Structure 1
């Protein structure tokens, strides 16, 4: 599960009260929220603790509503999406979700010393779905035996209404499936999603990426000195630490 990404800052510092909490929370069958100010290590945290094969990433847009978010999830899971001529009870256009898998096989032809490898494509029957119905999304993901973490980056870009709608949908994901969401957003409230939907209490764990203890900020500077092959004076380092507002971005 765990691995180092090449996209991480070279002076990345693992924080026990953040990284270890994140890793331990992954096994608790709850959704995770990573929150904090901009450039405080939210994305680097999940890249550090997860391998790329463990998850899919959906980058939220400020123009999206719930149906667009759900379509984004299906696309990243491997579905091809096309519009249907039918409308759902909510008034939204239904969609066709088509999933293709590639099967590799081998067979012997012309004697034991000649092997031909064949590739076949198996196309499942397209599903007609209501993109606003969380139950349809769960059904589609279950039908392909999807088993990765679903990461929603820049969740704060969604409108407040879309965030509220997804908070309601998240309860259904928790109760009717084993899919785990990791929601990443720029805000400072620990319980943002549970404020939108009180039923998420006990179903969501929050990770505060904003917290940087002084000793860990010192480590960031120390690793940076090695990378730059320089040695900063202690007075200079103390001045930076005293005036960085506990921000790793300022330190870097």
Structure 2
């Protein structure tokens, strides 16, 4: 008999007790995995994309993207997980860094069954007398493809949206080459545009299929029902309704609320011998408050990091402050489906006529960098150039602001900017 934490809660590993196949996505993904095609899986953060992949593809080469990574970093991580030797090169202008021994000629053979049998070739940096074995280089996509294919696994690139614009574009072109070599990749991330990768590289047309992971209220209700059956419990219909409404179509939020409700408030830690019914509305009120308090540290740090970055923008501080004020006050629907630059301009220009619409795009693009700014936080909001809109990457923000009162620092920053007249145009380089 399972414990409550085996049934409900957010976990890196899929739970069969509360996994629900919505819209027959299991069947759709399983079919695509049999085809010779790349697969893109999109959806909001914590919406069950990774659980879907685990359900249909248990053994895979997982590459976790982080802000600042590029395509070569992805290949390095993948080959490292395969224990395949490759030359560790990173080139910046006239310098190559890496582990070089002996007479400074780097020629690393492939290990085990990953040997491709390719003839060796070399690249040499003109300013450094170092031989680079292209046969085992992360720049050699044939070597990458053959190493992955011979492992019998598929490469899965998680959190694709953390990559910068150029890194994503580069990867979209690499995917065409990998497809030519018969190496098919799964890309998982948060984006709103349909067929994003194909829009970056039209040559991917017919070579990649996109699946969207989304949840209806009925789907979320089925998850609750399945988990409750596993624990032999029932939850009052009004509490179920409130939980679904507060989940904003996000399974991660729902799972977190269920664990807090059932285990922490109702004190049900494992499957019940006799059916237990949760009816006290105070249990859910307390569970929601507890979850919001748990998120407080995350969003306090988000505000602190972003406001510190804004203060460094010198003469354009006020633009950032008013933009963020508009964003955190946007409606739930706008942050889920896209808060347009037109609407942001309408709001911010109404408060400060010096703000120009064209300049807003530069500001919105830099929001991701400002959130990262020396911390290891995940993205909370992001700007999608393809639809010219801001959206919430982390839908927990919507839950947090509903159940927890926080004084965001943007209003104070905007007022300071007005006094110092800090509304000058933001530069691309700034």
Q: Identify whether the pair has TM-score above 0.5, normalized to the shorter chain.
A: yes
Give the alignment of 1:211-230 within 5 angstroms.
Answer: 211-230=214-233
Q: Distance in 1 between matches of 2:112 and 2:178?
A: 25
> How many residues matched?
221
**93 and 49 in structure 1: CA distance in 2 versus 1, 3 angstrom threshold:** same
Offset at residue 99 of structure 1 (A):
3.3
Would you say 1:190 and 2:194 are equivalent positions?
Answer: yes
Give the alignment of 1:121-132 within 5 angstroms.
Answer: 128-129=133-134, 130-132=137-139
**71 and 223 in structure 1: CA distance in 2 versus 1, 3 angstrom threshold:** same
Deviations 1:99-126 (A, max 9, x none): 3339xxxxxxxxxxxxxxxxxxx9x999
Would you say 1:162 and 2:167 are equivalent positions?
Answer: yes
Secondary structure of 1:173's match?
A: helix
TM-score by length of 1: 0.74
Would you say 1:205 and 2:209 are equivalent positions?
Answer: yes
Q: Distance in 2 between matches of 1:194 and 1:39?
A: 24
**141 and 47 in structure 1: CA distance in 2 versus 1, 3 angstrom threshold:** closer
| Cα-Cα RMSD | 3.4
TM-score by length of 2: 0.46
Q: Distance in 2 between matches of 1:125 and 1:196?
A: 31
Would you say 1:174 and 2:185 are equivalent positions?
Answer: no
Relative CO higher for 1 or 2, CA cutoff 8 Å, sep ≥ 6?
1
More strand by share: 1
Which of the numbers 217, 231, 235 marks the counterpart of 1:232?
235
Give the conservation status (yes or no) of the 8 Å contact 2:66–2:162. Answer: yes
Secondary structure of 1:148's match?
A: coil
Offset at residue 164 of structure 1 (A):
0.6
Give the conservation status (yes or no) of the 8 Å contact 2:148–2:154. Answer: no
Q: Distance in 1 between matches of 2:249 and 2:58?
A: 28
**150 and 141 in structure 1: CA distance in 2 versus 1, 3 angstrom threshold:** closer
Q: Distance in 2 between matches of 1:139 and 1:151?
A: 16
Give the conservation status (yes or no) of the 8 Å contact 2:148–2:155. Answer: no
Q: Distance in 1 between matches of 2:89 and 2:191?
A: 37
- Consecutive unaligned residues in structure 2, runs of 5 or more: 1-10, 99-105, 121-132, 256-430
Which residue does the alignment assign to 2:55? 48
